[in-house]
Structure 1
Amino acid sequence: MRVSLAEPLFDLASAIPEARMPVSTTGDKPLKVIDLFAGAGGLSEGFRQQGFEIVAGSDIDPDACATYKRNFPNAITIHGDIREPEIRARVIAAGKGADVVVGGPPCQAFSQVRNATRLIDDPRNSLYREFVSMVDELRPAVFLMENVPGLAQMGVKEQAEEDLSLGGVYRVLPQVLDAADFGVPQTRKRLLFLGIRSDLGVEPAAITGTGATSQLSLARRKKGKYFVDASDGVGEKLLAQLLDPEDLGVTTAAQAISDLRFLQTGRREEDIVVESLRTPESAYQRLMRQSLPDVVQNVSVPRINEDTVLRLKAIPGGGNHRDLPERLLARYLTGQKWGPSTDSGRLGRAHFYAYRRLHPSIWAWTLNTKADSVYHYAFPRALSVREFSRLQSFPDHFTFTTDSRRGTIAGRIDGGQAHSRYRQVGNAVPPLLAAAVAQEVKKLVGKAERRK
């Protein structure tokens, strides 16, 4: 396996003796990034789009690692549990000389803070502790840790900020960003901790997007009638921007996937030749199609049962089960028994988020890891993995795959190959959001370079 030991590209006098690793310049050679808990590589893709060199990525999921390796062939892909000494040693070796460490470690024990247990000390947060430890070990110029916004809401943000500062070695700025404010056709809030080494003499700055998510929303006028509501004059301007297919600042679901509407339920073929694709209908679609190979992958479409088709035909774009007429509220409509039954014989609370259809004129809600978490706005069908990934802002050349080995593998999550691909997309950080952060990182390093 190739191990990349990056050479420092410029040297700064260190005000803190422990800050061992110098930072690379933004000049001839790109800044080097290692991605921990990388998943399929959403953060890596965003940084790559801004000209960074991705040197390594690690994850415990073998299927996500297969996707990462396919899309970042020049990087080292490390599959395994970072808590194991051998895996940890490989990650450290791959990350030596990296200018930037990024990652999204799972952080589970929020509630323990109320019991005076520090976030980093709770055994359930061992992966979070590993991220902090890796930053301490590698001492990059900059790091980025992303997590769920609930971490901020439950009062542990300050603890994480303190942990990540490493006693003053880093200046850390936490903030919550919504991907839809950065051109992603999906609302997805993430809590980001951006840290820069204190000896570099610059402060991390707040990252701002369009602010569209605070001004625009999907409203329900009455049953079956949905529209995009603008709060005031600022909202009206953003609405015009949203509905402009040539504006990349804010993107609708239709602007993201309308050119793929020819895909049909039950399509089994996973690829399609580029020449057979329809002409792009928006600036966003043109952006997603840049650097395409001859074939686009991940265009198969799941089958769908007849009950679901009947319900979807009765639900408008933007709607959900609340729009169903009485005759379609029975648990089973055609006699085919599927999924859990209900005592009442009708749809229950478990179906509150079921049968949701995209609205063509606004971004999607936050996707989860299942194919049936969203349905097409115009046709009674689920989305392909390619359409899923469009809503996450993965470019069309980015292919989702799985480890070729069958059966149980350490770190693999049950559910099969198709589910794994949807899960990888649904768990990812949207690349366009990551790219906005990467752009800020470049600015910070540029400021530090000018202080030499």
Structure 2
Amino acid sequence: MVTQLALPLPGLEGDMAPSAPVDFLSAQQPRVLDLFAGAGGLSQGFQQAGFEIVGASDIDPDACATFALNFPEAQAICGDIRLPEVHERIVESGQGVDVVVGGPPCQAFSQVRNHSRIIDDPRNSLYREFVKTVGELRPLAFVMENVPGMAQMGVLEQVKEDLELSGAYNVRPNLLDAADFGVPQARKRLVFVGLRSDLGETPPLFKGTEATLHLALVRQGKGKYAVETRRDEVRAAALLKALEDPDNTTVVSASQALSDLWNLKAGRREEVMPIGEMKEAESEYQRLMRKQLEDKIWNVSVPRINSDTVTRLKGIPAGGNHRDLTEALTARYISGEKWGPSTDSGKLGRAHFYAYRRLHPGVWAWTLNTKADSAYHYRMPRALSVREFARLQSFPDHFVFTTDPRRGPLPGRIDGGQAHSRYRQVGNAVPPLLAEEIAQRVKTLIDAGREQSVQTVAPSSSEKKPARPAAAGA
């Protein structure tokens, strides 16, 4: 039986005011609405933790296509959440959800110095939409993730206060690094977890392994890199041992994530590969990623690469970057083949340097961005496929990245073509394993709140039940 409690939430006025009672005790499988969902990293993690994804919204039609493909039972709403008709559809799809999640863009951090609230800044209208939607739907909990820069002095306090909705929610921010939660990539995110005050629970504090504090890839000289321990040597030694163990998924290296895809070649055009062509899984992480994979693996095409880049990559060791290039390899053109913009100096420009970086097999990757050349393979002189990006983000292999089949400009579409869109979708996502850790803690707390509400709301067996009306004519 579902019990509805029409509890007033203090301090909500105008467009922040909730419109209807919400189910305090919902279905056994808690339900999630994902705002600014992108491809669905948060949704994938919450689904893995046992949540039902009922709806999502995003403005990018390519990301919406990926979400719809991977969450066919959910309602994918594509459009600008600021438009009344789109907002109405989102709120309708989210009626009765237990959790709202999302990562709204929030840009105007500097305005706090001028004593104005960031929620009032026009550049933060998407952030305001998230707060507004939470106020309207009144979920038991919400999770909002954002860039670490939001943690700067003044901003954090404002955001926490906004999300508390005048005492309706208890909110706690956490600054998390995905590599501390079994993701083979260093990726810091600021995560706000809010629990409805009437649950009587305190939002969680996350810790993780703290591997990023105790281990680091260090340049010991030109062409020489190694993983070194720091801080608490006993703790660091244990973490290093875990990192080197292929059967341990608490701390995962790039090779433990990618080594079974070694046979992908630069310039590969095929997007799909039979799983029989893959190497046997060489780590527990790879086995975890392959779960639910059927007969094919997708997103395995690899960008082409020019001969100059190959030559430079061969001169950079695993874990290295442009600082390891010899003087000859810093020439703008090595083979004589002209490609890309030239430079007046005849040398590589500063803009080129970020691209010449090779992963190290013995440690997690650095933070991926939205471009294919943000990381090169530690063994082969090539860029990574979208699938390898997805592995480093902890998306399972059955998760397929796609694009809207319509060609040309579309509202919300970012220029760059299909391949770039898929890299961007992965690079912008929240790592599902990090999301799963958050989801498990949230689920535990809302379950505890439900249990408490049952004890409070349900009549005890000793209470006298009202007499049943007599049948007509008795």
TM-score grouping bracket, smaller chain normalisation: over 0.9
Q: Is the 8 A contact 2:6 2:22 kept in 1?
A: no
CA distance in 2, matches of 1:265, 1:9: 56
Partner of 1:430: 431
What is the aligned-residue RMSD (CA, Å)?
1.4
Q: Is the 8 A contact 1:21 1:141 kept in 2?
A: no
Partner of 1:400: 401
CA distance in 1, matches of 2:366, 2:377: 13
2:355 aligned with 1:354, yes or no?
Answer: yes
2:232 aligned with 1:227, yes or no?
Answer: no
CA distance in 2, matches of 1:285, 1:133: 40
Within a 5 Å distance, the mapping from 1:145-184 to structure 2 comes to 145-184=144-183
2:384 aligned with 1:374, yes or no?
Answer: no
Q: Is the 8 A contact 2:332 2:348 kept in 1?
A: yes
Q: What SS does the corresponding residue of 2:166 show, helix, strand or coil? A: helix
CA distance in 2, matches of 1:154, 1:376: 38
Q: Is the 8 A contact 1:393 1:432 kept in 2?
A: yes
CA distance in 1, matches of 2:341, 2:213: 37
Q: Tell me the amino acid that sits aligned with residue 146 of structure 1.
A: E
Q: Tell me the amino acid that sits aligned with residue 382 of structure 1.
A: A
Flag structure 1 segments of 5+ consecutive residues without an equivalent. Answer: 1-7
1:413-448: per-residue Cα shift (whole Å, max 9, x none)? 000000000000000000000000001111111221
CA distance in 2, matches of 1:194, 1:39: 20
TM-fit CA distance, 1:313: 0.4
39-48 vs 8-17, which moves further: 8-17
Flag structure 2 segments of 5+ consecutive residues without an equivalent. Answer: 11-16, 454-474
Q: Tell me the amino acid that sits aligned with residue 342 of structure 2.
A: S
TM-fit CA distance, 1:10: 4.9
Q: Tell me the amino acid that sits aligned with residue 178 of structure 1.
A: D
Partner of 2:458: none
TM-fit CA distance, 1:293: 2.3
CA distance in 1, matches of 2:360, 2:2: 48
CA distance in 2, matches of 1:145, 1:9: 27
Q: Is the 8 A contact 1:38 1:104 kept in 2?
A: yes
Distance 1:207 1:13, change over 3 A: farther
Q: Is the 8 A contact 2:359 2:376 kept in 1?
A: yes
Within a 5 Å distance, the mapping from 1:35-114 to structure 2 comes to 35-114=34-113
Q: Is the 8 A contact 2:60 2:79 kept in 1?
A: yes
CA distance in 1, matches of 2:188, 2:373: 21
Identity of aligned residues (%): 65
Q: Is the 8 A contact 2:5 2:22 kept in 1?
A: no
Q: What SS does the corresponding residue of 2:23 show, helix, strand or coil? A: coil
338-347 vs 80-89, which moves further: 338-347
Q: Which runs of 4+ in 1 moved over 6 A?
A: none
CA distance in 2, matches of 1:16, 1:271: 51
406-415 vs 232-241, which moves further: 232-241
TM-fit CA distance, 1:22: 2.9
Partner of 1:419: 420
Distance 1:186 1:67, change over 3 A: same
Q: Is the 8 A contact 1:270 1:299 kept in 2?
A: yes
TM-score normalised per structure 1: 0.96
Partner of 2:468: none
Within a 5 Å distance, the mapping from 1:194-343 to structure 2 comes to 194-231=193-230, 232-343=233-344
Query: Which has the larger Rg?
Result: 2
TM-fit CA distance, 1:227: 0.3
TM-fit CA distance, 1:11: 4.9
Q: Is the 8 A contact 1:112 1:119 kept in 2?
A: yes
TM-fit CA distance, 1:342: 1.9
2:131 aligned with 1:132, yes or no?
Answer: yes
Q: Is the 8 A contact 1:82 1:88 kept in 2?
A: yes
CA distance in 2, matches of 1:12, 1:83: 29
TM-fit CA distance, 1:23: 3.5
Partner of 2:387: 386
Q: Tell me the amino acid that sits aligned with residue 188 of structure 1.
A: R
Q: Tell me the amino acid that sits aligned with residue 445 of structure 1.
A: I
1:347-406: per-residue Cα shift (whole Å, max 9, x none)? 222123121000000000000000000000001000000001000000000000000000
Q: What SS does the corresponding residue of 1:168 show, helix, strand or coil? A: coil
Q: Is the 8 A contact 2:169 2:197 kept in 1?
A: yes
CA distance in 2, matches of 1:279, 1:190: 33
Q: Is the 8 A contact 1:24 1:30 kept in 2?
A: no
Distance 1:24 1:338, change over 3 A: farther
1:219-240: per-residue Cα shift (whole Å, max 9, x none)? 0110000000111221111000
Within a 5 Å distance, the mapping from 1:111-126 to structure 2 comes to 111-126=110-125
Partner of 2:411: 410
CA distance in 2, matches of 1:220, 1:345: 28
Q: Is the 8 A contact 1:331 1:346 kept in 2?
A: yes
TM-fit CA distance, 1:295: 1.2
TM-fit CA distance, 1:43: 0.2
CA distance in 1, matches of 2:88, 2:6: 28
Distance 1:58 1:15, change over 3 A: closer
Distance 1:341 1:145, change over 3 A: same
Q: Between Structure 1 and Structure 2, how many residues are aligned?
A: 443
